[in-house]
Structure 1
Amino acid sequence: MGSRPWIADDELWALIEPLPPPWPERSPEPRPVSDRFCLQGILFVLDNDMAWQLLPLEPEFGSGRTCWWRPDRWQKAGVSDRLHQVLLADLNADGELDWSRTCVGGSHIRAKEQS
């Protein structure tokens, strides 16, 4: 079937799994699709540049609606920022980042006072 870049392999999932908050035990909603399957659905939609409602009903994905709502829940729990830090640290440890092409913006840093 060729390359499937939307599959969260065990190595990637080991980095990501601790980040999303647990589902509330007293939630009125039915037990949700796993975060791993939602992530795979999200990656599938992004990789194929498609609308959420066109996400195929496959065993390794959540529904398009679930995959559309889950990032909102993760964002509110601070998962996005932590995920960004974890992935950058992992890429850096593997020597996969080219820091020579990095720039830092200073628009939010106070200027030193002139004497």
Structure 2
Amino acid sequence: MGRGDLTNREWSLLEPHLPSAGGRGGRWSDHRTVINGILFRVRTGVPWRDLPERYGSWKTVYERHRRWSADGTWDRILQAVQADADLAGRIDWSMVGVDSTSCRAHQH
């Protein structure tokens, strides 16, 4: 496991909310490995093609991220994980704030 990869505890909270493995065209690569690849890319900003080999094929990681972004899977996962944390009392909703101010900058 690389630095920044999901811990076993984090994975146990996330895993129940993931789509079932398998689907169009056959069996999917391991969700945990692919998600760790996505997290690595988001954390470091490297191009998809430069993902370390430990995350598998960069195309697989990219396609899973793209597919889940397009079909709303990431949104559903976020809502489910937030709901679980809220039920367990780990979220303090009073600390949430929305700021609608805007700041304009001019070249002068």
TM-score range, shorter chain: 0.5 to 0.7
Give the superposition deviation at 1:72. Answer: 2.5
Give the superposition deviation at 1:77. Answer: 4.5
The equivalent residue for 1:13 is 11
Larger radius of gyration: 1
Structure 2 CA distance, aligned partners of 1:41 and 1:86? 22
Gaps of 5+ in 1: 106-115
The root-mean-square deviation of aligned C-alpha atoms, in Å, is 2.7
Once the two structures are aligned, what percentage of the paired residues are identical? 35
- For 1:17, give the aligned amino acid: E
Give the superposition deviation at 1:41. Answer: 0.4
* Alignment partner of 1:84 out of 72, 78, 81: 78
Gaps of 5+ in 2: 100-108
Where does structure 1 differ by over 4 angstroms across 4 or more consecutive aligned residues?
Answer: none
Counterparts in 2 of 1:1-115, with a 5 A limit? Answer: 4-5=3-4, 7-18=5-16, 19-24=18-23, 27=25, 31-58=27-54, 61-92=55-86, 93=88, 95=90, 97-103=91-97
- Report the TM-score, using the length of structure 1 for normalisation: 0.64
- Report the TM-score, using the length of structure 2 for normalisation: 0.67
* Change beyond 3 A, Cα 1:77–1:36: same
Q: What is the number of equivalent residue pairs in this alignment? A: 96
Q: What are the superposed Cα offsets for residues 51-96 of structure 1, whole Å, 9 maximum, x if unpaired?
A: 11110112xx12221111102222355321221113323444353x
Structure 1 CA distance, aligned partners of 2:89 and 2:48? 33
Structure 2 CA distance, aligned partners of 1:76 and 1:50? 21
Partner secondary structure for residue 17 of structure 1: helix
* Change beyond 3 A, Cα 1:13–1:44: same
The equivalent residue for 2:102 is none
